[in-house]
Amino acid sequence: MSEVIVGLSLAIWLFLILFWGNFWRGDQRLTSDTKEIAAPRIWAVVPARDEAEAIALCLTSLLNQNYPGEFSVIVVDDNSSDRTGEIAQETASSLGKQQNLTVITGKPLPDGWSGKLWAMNQGIEFAQTKTPDYILLTDADIQHDQDNLKQLVAQATVKNLDLVSLMVLLRCQSFWEKLLIPAFVFFFQKLYPFPWVNDPRKSLAAAAGGCILISNQALTSIGGIAAIKDALIDDCSLAHAVKSQQKNIWLGLTETTISLRGYDNLKVIWNTIARTAYTQLNYSPWLLVGTLMGMALVYLVTPIYLVVGILSSNWLIVAICILTWMLMIIAYLPTIRLYKLSPLWAFWLPAIAFLYTLMTLDSAIKYYQGQGGAWKGRTYQ
Which of 117-121, 246-250, 371-375 is the least confident region?
371-375
Report CA dihedral (270, 271, 277, 282) to the nearest 10 degrees: 160
Q: How confident is the model at residue 168 (pLDDT cuts 50, 70, 90)?
A: very high
pLDDT-derived band at 2, boundaries 50, 70, 90:
confident
345-358: average pLDDT: 97
Give residue 370's pLDDT: 78
Q: What is the DSSP letter of 45?
A: E
Q: Please, where are the H alpha helices in 174-313?
A: 175-191, 194-197, 216-221, 234-243, 266-280, 285-295, 301-312
pLDDT at 132 over 50: yes
Average pLDDT on 327-350 reads 97
Residue 179, pLDDT score: 97
Say which DSSP state 169 is in: E
Predicted confidence (pLDDT) at residue 206 exceeds the cutoff of 70: yes
Residue 376: pLDDT band (50, 70, 90) is: low
Q: What is the structure's pLDDT at 71?
A: 96
- Is residue 181 within 8 Å of 172, Cβ to Cβ? yes
Is residue 371 over pLDDT 90? no
Q: Mean pLDDT across the stretch 241-245?
A: 96
Q: pLDDT class for 285, splitting at 50, 70, 90? A: very high
Residue with the bigger pLDDT between 380 and 351: it is: 351
Residue range 325-335: average pLDDT?
98
State the average pLDDT over residues 120-132: 94
Q: Could you count the other beta carbons within 10 Å of the beta carbon of residue 308?
A: 16
- Helices (H) and strands (E) counted in the chain, each on its own, are 14, 8
Helix (H) or strand (E) holding 58: helix 55-63
Residue 47, beta-bridge partner list? 76
pLDDT, residue 86, reads 94
pLDDT score at 32: 64
* Residue 288 backbone dihedrals phi, psi, to 5 degrees: -65, -50
Check residue 280 and give its pLDDT: 84
Q: Is the pTM of this model over 0.75?
A: yes
The amino acid at 217:
Q
Chain segment 244-280, per-residue pLDDT in tens: 999 999 999 999 999 999 998 999 999 989 888 888 8
> What is residue 282's predicted lDDT score, i.e. its pLDDT?
85
Q: Give the number of residues written for the chain.
A: 381
pLDDT at 373: 53
Angle at 241 between CA 235 and CA 245, to 5 degrees: 145
Cα end-to-end span (Å), the chain: 42
Query: What are the distances in angstroms from CA 173 to CA 46, 263, 340, 351?
Result: 25, 9, 11, 19
Beta-strand pair 211-215/163-169: antiparallel
d(CA 273, CA 187): 12
Strand partners, 103: 75
* DSSP code, position 232: S
Structure confidence at residue 378 (pLDDT): 47
CA dist 116 and 138 (Å) reads: 11
Mean pLDDT calculated for residue range 297-323: 96
* Residues 6 or more apart whose Cβ sits within 8 Å of residue 175: none
Tell me how crowded residue 22 is: count the other CB atoms within 10 A of its CB.
16
pLDDT score recorded for residue 279: 84
Mean pLDDT of the chain: 93
Q: What confidence score (pLDDT) does residue 232 get?
A: 73
pLDDT, greater one: 88 or 38: 88
> Is there a contact between 332 and 343 (Cβ–Cβ < 8 Å)?
no
pLDDT one-digit tens code per residue, 96-115: 999 999 999 989 888 888 88
Cβ of 245: how many Cβ atoms within 10 Å?
10
Ordered DSSP codes for 296-326: IIIIIHHHHHHHHHHHHT-HHHHHHHHHHHH
% of the chain surpassing 70 pLDDT: 96
Q: Tally the C-alpha atoms within 13 A of residue 291's C-alpha that lie toward its C-beta.
A: 24
